[in-house]
Structure formats: structure tokens, C-alpha cells
Structure 1
Amino acid sequence: MHLHGPRLTLRPLAPSDAEAVFALNGDPAVMRHFAAPMTREESDAWVARLIAHQRDRGYSFGAVELPGAGCIGVVGLLEIPWQAPFTPAVEIGWRIAPAYQRQGFAEEAARLALAHGFGRLGLERIVAFTPPVNEPSWRLMERLGMRRQGEFDHPRLPKDHRLRRHLWYRVTRPDWLAVRGLAEGGAQGTD
């Protein structure tokens, strides 16, 4: 599945993307709102899990491909593998290389992922979460039409971790369709 926007393509990750993804996952600036930057081994294992998720479920985080620049980030949908007040659920998430941040690439790719999720995949709701300090991320959630639902303690972070508290957002299929003026069944994924 390749989703095409005005400036970029969102496509499934491939093993050949491991170097570009590690450039993101190993970068302290990109990972400042995560527990820690990933080692190369951790990043490669994450890519392998995303590729397996794509194979098994038909969706995952994908490579954000910009003509002339290659893979500049990862954006997409992922089934949450841990328990929280809002699980089971599918999350939308993004990581964009610093040179391409604040240029609308995460938003463009996220809109493609939402259209695919509510269109072809037929999902009923999609969630997102981030620490409160990550204002650019929660502001993007709001621009995407997501609404803040509350806060929770991330179960994969230690009780005393500075980022343990997270905000969580949700958008439902009816809300997403209403904002776009589409009738039920009018959402389409882009192949």
C-alpha cells in the first residue's frame, strides 16, 4: 500500500530503511520525548516488528518518502501492545528527521494514515498519546481533529520517569467523517 500526498509518499517500511530509521531513533533530538534514543540493535528490532505488523495486520508505521530526499521519517498506524485505559486500540504516531520538522510533513503523512485507517481499514477510532511537554505533537493531534481525552501513566516507563505521565487523544470515524463533510462510507484510502 502506497499512500500519496501532494509532497510525499507513505509506503511500507522495508529492511533497506533500517539505516534511515536508525538516524531517527538514535538521534537525541528526535527522541527527546521518549525514554531514550535507541541503539542500532533496538532500532533494527523495531523496524522488524513494524514490518511484521504490516505483514500480519495490513498496516503499520510506514516510511515517509520525499522525492529527492528518501526516507525522512516514519508515520502510521499501529496496534498498541500494552494495556492502558483506552486499549485495545490503534494508535497513530510520527517521527520526522530534524531537517524536515515544522514543514507540515508529519501532518500530511498523518492525514494519509487517518484516511487509510478510516477508509480502507474501516477502523472506528484511532488514538494518540504523548507527554504534556511535547507540545508540537499534541498540537498536531488537535490539527488532525483529535480530541484530548485525559491523562495516563505510560506502563512501559518507570514510576519515577520524568515522561511517565502522558496525554491521550482520540478521533472516531464519525467525527473524522463529519469534519470532512463525508457521509458514512465516503472515506477512501489512497492506493
Structure 2
Amino acid sequence: MERARIRIEPWMDADLDLLRRVNTPAMKKHVGGPETEERLLLRHRRYLDFVPAGLGCMYRVVLLPEGEPVGTVGYGTRTWQGQTVYEMGWNILPPYQGRGLAVAAARAAVAAARTDGRRRHLHAFPSVGNPASNAVCRRAGFTLLGETDFEFPPGTWMRSHDWRVDLTAPAAGPEDDAPQG
């Protein structure tokens, strides 16, 4: 069976529609629910400003060979336990879930953050009640540091796993069972 392939492409103004497609109760159930249109527009603007401000990078996930946008992945700067780190997040639209696309997208974004060279660590904080996102972290090469209370979105606290990648360490080889982007 041929594995699905993806490419990540830097966020553009035209990706607002993709952000709206991700902003659903089903897609946002583990991160505080859908955002208002006003907050969504602010998020979109922030994604557009990540690279020029040196804060990270947001990407659309594109399915190959079709070229269809099927999700988002990215990393941005945050302060965590007294250090400036990158925090990563991803979303794959429901019709495309379960194909390993989030793992491939996370790996591609980790590689981009590694190349960026601005931060030593990249973290992901999926809810402890989100087994799919925790599996993405494990398969994408993150190390589980433990459970923590994490604020996301601002004003909303959740119990999360703290997963981390050391961006200064040599990249691990891909798992045999995961599709590559």
C-alpha cells in the first residue's frame, strides 16, 4: 500500500479559509472549543507575522500529489519554565485523519525548527485526554517529560502531557510505519 505524502508550506493570507475549516467543535474539543471570528482573525494575523517577527512559523499541510490543503502545523515562541522555547501544534481535517499525516507534518515542522536554529527545545502540550495527539508526539520523536497544567487558550487551563524535542540533538530516523512528508 502506498503511503500518503504531504508537504508543508508557509502560511499565507489565503489560508484564512483553512483556519475556519479547522475552527469547529470537533476539531477544537481538546483545546477550549472554537474561537469567535474576532479571535480567529487575530490568530490568522499572528500566524502571518510569525516569520517576520522571528517568532516561529505556521504552515498549511498539503496532501500530495493532489495539492489539497488538509490541515495546519506550526511552532511559535513561548516562555516555559523560565526558558524561551518553541511550542508546536497541528490540526488535520477529519476526512484525512488516521493516515499518519499529522506525524509527517509534525516531523517536517520539527525539521524546520531545527534548521531555524533559534531555540534549543520544542514542546507540544496535548491534553492527557487526547490519545491521538499524544500518539503523534510519540511517533514524531518527542520525549514525554510528564503531566502538567497548561493554559490554552489563554484563560483556560487543562491537564496536558509535556512532550519535548531537543532541536540541537541529531535528528532521529523515521519510524518504519510512518508516512514521510
| Structure 1 residues 28-107: aligned runs within 5 Å | 28-57=25-54, 59-66=56-63, 67-68=65-66, 70-80=68-78, 83-85=79-81, 87-107=83-103
C-alpha spacing 1:156/1:17, structure 2 compared with 1 (3 Å): closer
User: For residues 87 and 99 of structure 2, what CA distance do their matches in structure 1 show?
Assistant: 22
RMSD: 2.6
Stretches of structure 2 lacking an aligned partner (at least 5 in a row): 175-180
Q: Is residue 20–residue 71 contact of structure 1 (8 Å, CA) maintained in 2?
A: yes
Q: Which runs of 4+ in 1 moved over 4 A?
A: 156-159
For residue 127 of structure 1, report the CA deviation from its aligned partner. Answer: 0.9
1:141 aligns with 2:134: no
- Match for residue 3 of structure 1? none
C-alpha spacing 1:151/1:128, structure 2 compared with 1 (3 Å): same
Which of 104, 109, 115 is matched with 1:113 structurally? Answer: 109
For residue 175 of structure 1, report the CA deviation from its aligned partner. Answer: 4.4
SS of the counterpart of 1:109? helix
Stretches of structure 1 lacking an aligned partner (at least 5 in a row): 1-5, 182-189
User: For residues 34 and 123 of structure 2, what CA distance do their matches in structure 1 show?
Assistant: 23
For residue 119 of structure 1, report the CA deviation from its aligned partner. Answer: 2.6
How many residues in Structure 1 have an aligned counterpart in Structure 2?
Answer: 171
User: For residues 158 and 47 of structure 1, what CA distance do their matches in structure 2 show?
Assistant: 16
1:18 aligns with 2:16: yes
TM-score by length of 2: 0.82
TM-score by length of 1: 0.78
User: For residues 98 and 73 of structure 1, what CA distance do their matches in structure 2 show?
Assistant: 9
Which of 151, 154, 177 is matched with 2:150 structurally? Answer: 154
Greater share of strand:
2
